[in-house]
């Protein structure tokens, strides 16, 4: 049971299974005693709400990083393209309006700080230590590697690294997040906490 979870949570656009959502919430609840949480790839805010509700209890902050132009698979002609999230005037995907609405409805505007930028640009002069990093951004190898390399250096000892959409079988999903997960496990910097569905969890040593 997650306190204050909106009744509309299952109506929010997103790709997060219930067991993954609960794992994110509980790890963020523990981690946010030590500091801020960073989410990379917020989309419409479904996972952000779970992280935000956890951080709200500890008066911590969730930095929700997303350029809100959609990943490769969200563009026109791609499998996960959603016409409702396409701005005809701009000629681009725009998920930010939907994201803001969902965060406002969840009463998390004082907990969630949107960072509307690309991962590399946001990380360039970042100074805030992070107690948890959730990587759920672009699924190209370049994007996944950038997220990992830019942000794990800011993760506190004992902090949680969570990586979403891990599929060992290429027929089930993209391989880039899984490659980054294997890289993290092989680095010697993390304790492997295992997987919940397609969510991999590690702890910074």
Catalytic-residue membership of 139: yes
Query: What letter does residue 63 receive in the DSSP assignment?
Result: E
Residue 178 DSSP code: H
Q: Is there a contact between 12 and 44 (Cβ–Cβ < 8 Å)?
A: yes
DSSP string, 92-130: EE--HHHHHHHHHHTT-TTTEEEE-S-HHHHHTT----E
Which of 120, 124, 137 lies closest to 40 in space, CA to CA? Answer: 137
* Residue of 33, 139, 154, 164 marked active site: 139
Sorted by sequence, the CB contacts under 8 Å of residue 35 that are 6+ apart come out as 60, 128, 129, 130, 131, 156, 159
Residues marked active site are found at 139
């Amino acid at each position: 049971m997650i306190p204050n979870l909106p009744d509309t949570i299952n109506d929010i656009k997103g790709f997060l299974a219930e067991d993954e959502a609960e794992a994110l919430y509980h790890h963020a609840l523990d981690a946010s005693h030590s500091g801020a949480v960073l989410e990379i790839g917020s989309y419409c805010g479904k996972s952000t709400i779970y992280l935000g509700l956890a951080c709200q209890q500890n008066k911590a902050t969730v930095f929700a990083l997303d350029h809100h132009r959609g990943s490769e698979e969200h563009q026109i002609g791609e499998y996960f393209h959603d016409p409702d999230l396409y701005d005809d005037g701009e000629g681009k995907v725009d998920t930010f309006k939907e994201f803001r609405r969902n965060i406002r409805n969840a009463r998390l505007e004082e907990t969630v700080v949107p960072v509307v930028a690309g991962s590399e640009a946001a990380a360039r002069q970042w100074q805030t230590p992070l107690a948890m990093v959730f990587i759920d951004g672009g699924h190209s190898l370049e994007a996944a590697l950038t997220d990992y390399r830019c942000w794990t250096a800011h993760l506190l000892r004992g902090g949680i690294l969570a990586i979403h959409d891990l599929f060992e079988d290429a027929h089930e999903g993209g391989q880039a997040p899984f490659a980054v997960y294997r890289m993290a496990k092989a680095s010697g910097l993390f304790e492997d906490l295992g997987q919940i569905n397609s969510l991999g969890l590690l702890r910074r040593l």
